[in-house]
Structure 1
Amino acid sequence: MTARSDREAVAQAGSGTPVEQVGGLRRVGVVLRRLVGFEAAGMVSLWLWVRRRRHGVPESATAVPYAGAVASTMVMFLVVSVVELVAVEILLRAIGAPDPLRHAILIVDAYGVLIALAVIAATVTGPHVIGPDEIRVRNAAFLDVRVPRRLVSEVRMVRNYNEQGTIRVDGDTLIVSAIAQTNLVVELAEPVRVVRPLGRVAHVRTIRFFADDPTAALAAVTSSATAVTSSGSGRTGGRSSSSPSPPGGRAA
């Protein structure tokens, strides 16, 4: 695959052409490029995490964390990865495995631990963002959807405990869950374009996502809309409401 064809494939995916319509090697190139991008973003997130900073949260906006719900699961996965690394190293030494093989496996396992740390860091440093101009829904380094406030018709709280998959598109609805849960719904006046983790493109009019504190998120929607209105713009950015559903209920 030439550099030119690779650039054309990325341009096609970025301009709205679904990855499944990009043929053969070009599709592989687009997917690999996105995977490399995830890893690079994860490394940047590690640096931000160490410095206790967040990415993409301006002073005029409110960060809406979602890492709390998945923290225990991610930490458990990290611990298992570290234990596996140590156990495999001990086993290889015990059976007298050659050093090149042992070192190669050690590097792969250590890289797996680093990636696990990067995902945790990206989740912590990349919260959802509610600002006067946009609502930004994210999932670590894998998803970043920016919704202009002018398109937001309503934001409401609807708890759902049986979501399937972490990032999924169901018809014209985008679901971004945490441990199978969502608790906020954004209704849009017009569809917005969403690029899924591996490059597939969808257009959605409803977004369901999870926030550690949905009540605070709704308050941020209201306060930012009020700020916009008081500034004389005449835009409210949508109304907010709270309508919790019983456990296990589906979001509207």
Structure 2
Amino acid sequence: MGIKEFITQTRRLAAHEGRWMTSLGLWMVRRSHGVGEADIAVGYARAQAAMAYGMVFVFVVETVGVSFLLAEYPDIHLVMLVLDLYTVLMVLGLHAAAVTRPHVVGPGELRIRRGARLDLRIPLERIASARYDLRFPDANKSEDGVLDVAIASQTSITIELTQPVTVVSLLGRRTEVHTVRCHADEPQAAIAAIKKLLPVDR
């Protein structure tokens, strides 16, 4: 990896961190990001909520336990306390990003999002079909031209495209996809909202 690429990826990671930190603030005031008055927000965070809160509980218990163990070593204790508190904050921030950055069905496009990591804009004219399709994709396997946006290891909506769209990963990798699979808390309602905006012949 060259220096230029390293700097670019570092900036991307810093921007990602800024997004989930911003999401914490939005979550506290119960606001969403990127949802206009004419848009329909499609939530997907419910499936991962139990896991996220469970992880927070485990990390809080670990923080307390480590604090007792390192009480006699104040310098090490301070370092570990900062790291543990940051971990708790990050887990909350990542979940907050999923809550405050839902999928968005708008008059001209469909936005498929995964927290602060992914924001894919699909023009409605490129959508051939949208259907309910519950799947549990293998994270270690991928299909050419297919994007799995799984939440809690599941997807419930499959969107077929008439033309491919470009997906940009967190670190900047670009991939062309013709099928997008994502999850929604209420998949049938999400599909109905998408179909309502598609041309009648689709």
CA RMSD of aligned residues (A): 1.7
Instruction: State the shift of 1:164 in Å.
Output: 2.0
1:132 aligns with 2:107: yes
Larger radius of gyration, structure 1 or 2? 1
Task: State TM-score, norm by structure 2.
Answer: 0.94
Separation of aligned partners in 1, 2:3 and 2:137? 33
- Structure 2 unpaired stretches of 5+: none
Q: 1:144 to 1:40 in 2, by over 3 A?
A: same
Task: State TM-score, norm by structure 1.
Answer: 0.76
Counterpart of 1:164? Answer: 138
Separation of aligned partners in 2, 1:88 and 1:82? 10
| Contact 1:150–1:237 under 8 Å retained in 2 | no
Instruction: State the shift of 1:237 in Å.
Output: 8.3
Tell me the number of residue pairs that the alignment of Structure 1 and Structure 2 aligns.
Answer: 202
Q: Which residue of 87, 110, 124 maps to 1:112? A: 87
Separation of aligned partners in 2, 1:35 and 1:137? 20
> What letter matches 2:6 in structure 1?
V
Instruction: State the shift of 1:32 in Å.
Output: 1.4
Q: Which residue of 116, 119, 140 maps to 1:144? A: 119
> What letter matches 1:87 in structure 2?
G
Separation of aligned partners in 2, 1:102 and 1:125? 34
Instruction: State the shift of 1:30 in Å.
Output: 2.1
> What letter matches 1:131 in structure 2?
G
> What letter matches 2:96 in structure 1?
A
| Contact 2:130–2:195 under 8 Å retained in 1 | no
Counterpart of 1:46? Answer: 24
Q: Which residue of 211, 215, 218 maps to 2:188? A: 215
1:19-40 deviation per Cα after TM superposition (whole angstroms, max 9, x unaligned)? xxxx422222222111111110
Q: Which residue of 121, 134, 154 maps to 2:129? A: 154
Separation of aligned partners in 2, 1:114 and 1:70? 16
